[in-house]
């Protein structure tokens, strides 16, 4: 049974509230002129897409100051529930949309791409060995799925009796679902201590020298430096299972090279995946439609600098046409 680190979750929720108020506080000094876009958009869902959606909202409101955009993150599962129940206009979503969800009215627009990355504490005493060898898909499965490898000695083939402390997500989310899909299981099959939210799992791994987890790209790397956040390292995936990290597998040192590997298909998919904004049925609210069109045109100019992978131009055009 998964345990839950509620204190970390609580701290992150405080941070979310602050970000939410920054976007929405302040009143318009002048009423909207005739023909000027005016209204409210409510959005909830995946942590993976939250930082980019905030950026889009800030830039969109510079052009349309009479539009209010309310954004909250609580996981992809919550976003889907909220949008299908009519509680919000859009859901931020970070996994494939199922046929059942489509049947219930989910209408998804792909807006960017990112990936889930395996993370380890930078203070792990075996960090050099991990960086040199990487982990195979089977090695990850032996930790997160079967629980076969419980000690670092079993993982690395040495005599260490230090326990491997795996961390997973306690909330229904795209990151966990994509990591599970990479390992050929479902989120509920993942073993480990359950932690709420992307920042929560990153903090848990940072604080535990023997910890291992997984994070969305934007929560693994600092966009200001392009390097992994202090206390975190990214575990290289040994794609050809030859027991070492070859030069073509060594792209984790900085964010830009990881993004290029995702774009080129070198990093496996899953756990790489597209990110979506979802409405219930094809959107009819003019404010929502304009926001989505902005994202797929002007908004795509900030995707890369925000730490995400831009979709191909022809794909964005196809998504635009679906809104007409």
How far is C-alpha 158 from the chain's CA centre? 34
- The enclosing domain of 82 has a CATH number of 3.40.190.10
Q: What whole-number distance in Å separates Cα of residue 139 and Cα of residue 156? A: 9
Q: Verify that 249 and 125 share a domain, yes or no.
A: yes
Q: Verify that 125 and 253 share a domain, yes or no.
A: yes
Q: What whole-number distance in Å separates Cα of residue 85 and Cα of residue 290? A: 22
Q: Verify that 139 and 160 share a domain, yes or no.
A: yes
Digit-coded pLDDT (tens) for 126-167 = 999 999 999 999 999 999 999 999 999 999 999 889 999 999
The reported pLDDT for the residue numbered 36 is 80
DSSP 269-311: TTTEEEEEEEEESS---HHHHHHHHHHHTGGGGGTTTTT-BPP
The reported pLDDT for the residue numbered 22 is 38
Is residue 70, in this structure, part of any structural domain at all?
A: yes
Q: Verify that 87 and 148 share a domain, yes or no.
A: no
pTM: 0.86
Which of 226, 245, 264 is at the close of a domain? 264
Question: Which is more confident, 229 or 172?
Answer: 229
The reported pLDDT for the residue numbered 202 is 97
Digit-coded pLDDT (tens) for 209-268 = 999 999 999 999 999 999 999 999 999 999 999 999 999 999 999 999 999 999 999 999
Task: Find, among 289, 269, 264, the residue nearest to 279 by Cα.
Answer: 289
The reported pLDDT for the residue numbered 131 is 97
Q: Percent of the chain scored above 90 by pLDDT?
A: 87
Q: What whole-number distance in Å separates Cα of residue 247 and Cα of residue 180? A: 27
The reported pLDDT for the residue numbered 13 is 40
What's the rounded mean pLDDT across residues 57-80?
96
Task: Find, among 174, 180, 170, 173, the residue nearest to 204 by Cα.
Answer: 170
Q: What whole-number distance in Å separates Cα of residue 48 and Cα of residue 233? A: 18
DSSP 96-114: PPPHHHHHTTEEEEEEEEE
In angstroms, what is the C-alpha Rg of the chain?
20
The reported pLDDT for the residue numbered 33 is 59
Is residue 99, in this structure, part of any structural domain at all?
A: yes
Domain residues for the domain of 260 are: 115-264
Q: Verify that 252 and 317 share a domain, yes or no.
A: no
The reported pLDDT for the residue numbered 288 is 98
**Positive/negative CA dihedral, 81, 82, 83, 84:** positive
Looking at every residue in the chain, the average pLDDT score rounds to: 90
The reported pLDDT for the residue numbered 245 is 96
At 12, is the pLDDT very low, low, confident or very high (cuts 50, 70, 90)? very low
Total domain count, the chain: 2
Q: Verify that 254 and 124 share a domain, yes or no.
A: yes
The reported pLDDT for the residue numbered 299 is 96
Q: Verify that 122 and 254 share a domain, yes or no.
A: yes
* DSSP three-state, residue 156: helix
Q: Verify that 191 and 109 share a domain, yes or no.
A: no
What's the rounded mean pLDDT across residues 189-211?
97
Is residue 131, in this structure, part of any structural domain at all?
A: yes
Which of 243, 264, 285 is at the close of a domain? 264
Q: Verify that 148 and 224 share a domain, yes or no.
A: yes
Q: Verify that 248 and 293 share a domain, yes or no.
A: no
Q: Verify that 15 and 31 share a domain, yes or no.
A: yes
Digit-coded pLDDT (tens) for 41-51 = 999 999 999 99
- For the ranges 4-18, 70-84, 128-142, the lowest mean pLDDT is seen at 4-18
**145 and 132 in contact (C-beta within 8 Å)?**
no
């Amino acid at each position: 049974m998964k345990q839950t680190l509620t204190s970390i979750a609580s701290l992150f929720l405080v941070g979310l509230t602050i970000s939410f108020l920054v976007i929405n506080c302040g009143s318009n000094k002048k009423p909207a002129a005739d023909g000027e876009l005016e209204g409210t958009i409510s959005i909830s869902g995946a942590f993976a897409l939250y930082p980019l959606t905030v950026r889009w909202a800030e830039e969109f409101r510079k052009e349309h100051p009479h539009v209010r955009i309310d954004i909250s993150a609580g996981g992809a599962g919550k976003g889907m529930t909220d949008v299908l129940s009519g509680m919000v206009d859009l859901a931020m979503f970070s996994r494939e949309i199922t046929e059942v969800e489509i049947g219930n009215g989910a209408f998804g627009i792909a807006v960017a791409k990112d990936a889930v990355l395996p993370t380890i504490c930078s203070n792990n005493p075996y960090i050099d060995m991990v960086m040199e060898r990487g982990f195979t898909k089977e090695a990850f499965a032996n930790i997160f799925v079967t629980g076969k490898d419980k000690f670092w000695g079993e993982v690395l083939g040495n005599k260490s009796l230090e326990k491997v402390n795996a961390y997973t997500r306690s909330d229904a989310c795209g990151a966990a679902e994509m990591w599970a899909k990479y390992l050929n299981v479902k989120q509920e099959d993942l073993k480990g201590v359950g932690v709420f939210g992307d920042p929560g799992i990153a903090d848990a791994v940072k604080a535990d020298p023997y910890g291992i987890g997984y994070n969305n790209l934007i929560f693994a790397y600092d966009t200001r430096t392009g390097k992994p956040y202090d206390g975190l390292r990214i575990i290289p995936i040994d794609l050809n299972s030859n027991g070492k990290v070859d030069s073509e597998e060594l792209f984790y040192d900085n964010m830009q090279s990881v993004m290029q590997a995702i774009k080129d298909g070198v990093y496996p998919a899953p756990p790489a995946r597209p990110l979506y904004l979802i409405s219930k049925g094809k959107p009819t609210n003019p404010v929502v439609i304009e926001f989505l069109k902005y994202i797929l045109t002007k908004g795509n100019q900030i995707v890369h600098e925000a730490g995400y992978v831009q979709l191909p131009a022809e794909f964005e055009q196809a998504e635009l046409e679906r809104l007409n």
